[in-house]
Amino acid sequence: MAKRQLHKLSAREAETIVEPGRHSDGGGLYLAIETGTHARRQWVFLYRVRGTGKRREFGLGSAKGKGRDGISLADARLKAAEVRKQLAEGKEPGAERRAKIVAASNSNQRLERCEAAHIGILHETLIRPPAPA
């Protein structure tokens, strides 16, 4: 079985490509370019989930381009290697990120409930006139 080629893109190509679409660097790493009102350049890693075979896309960050800051090709390759390692260990690469988002969301909900309770107490004590004695 032949291995898939890695490192198809050069650093110069990665920074100067302007055609919209996905440009493969090999091993699941792609430079995704969108044009139009929401023009963007980003590094994505495509993989399939073990067991279900569902295709997933894992964002690695904005890509460097002409006049744009972002992740270089070398850094994107390092991040893709980390994702490949996680997949080899049987881990879901996006699971840790999603867990952090859920935890932050739960934290925000608790904060909102506390704020609402605090505002309710303030409303009761400051705005409502005292009960007649």
- What integer pLDDT is reported at residue 120 of this predicted model? 63
pLDDT at 100: 81
Residues 95, 103, 80: CA angle, nearest 5 degrees: 30
Q: Please give the pLDDT value at position 62.
A: 92
Would you state the pLDDT for residue 126?
A: 60
- pLDDT in the model for residue 25: 93
User: Tens place of pLDDT for every residue, the chain, 133 residues?
Assistant: 556 778 888 888 888 888 999 999 989 999 999 988 888 999 999 998 888 889 999 999 999 888 788 999 999 999 999 999 999 998 888 777 778 888 877 766 666 666 666 666 655 656 656 666 6
24 by Cβ neighbours in 10 Å (0-12 / 13-18 / 19+) ranks as middle
CA distance 24 to 69: 20
- For domain 11-91, the CATH superfamily is Integrase, DNA-binding domain (3.30.160.390)
- What local confidence, expressed as pLDDT, does residue 30 receive? 95
End-to-end CA distance of the chain: 90
Could you tell me which residues come within 8 angstroms of residue 59 by beta carbon, excluding any fewer than 6 positions away? 42, 43, 44, 45
Sequence ranges of the domains in the chain: 11-91, 94-128
How far apart CA 46 and CA 29 sit, in angstroms, is 7
Of the candidates 24, 27, 28, which has an alpha carbon nearest to the alpha carbon of residue 6? 27
What pLDDT score was predicted for residue 50?
83
Distance separating alpha carbons of residues 77 and 37, to the nearest angstrom: 28
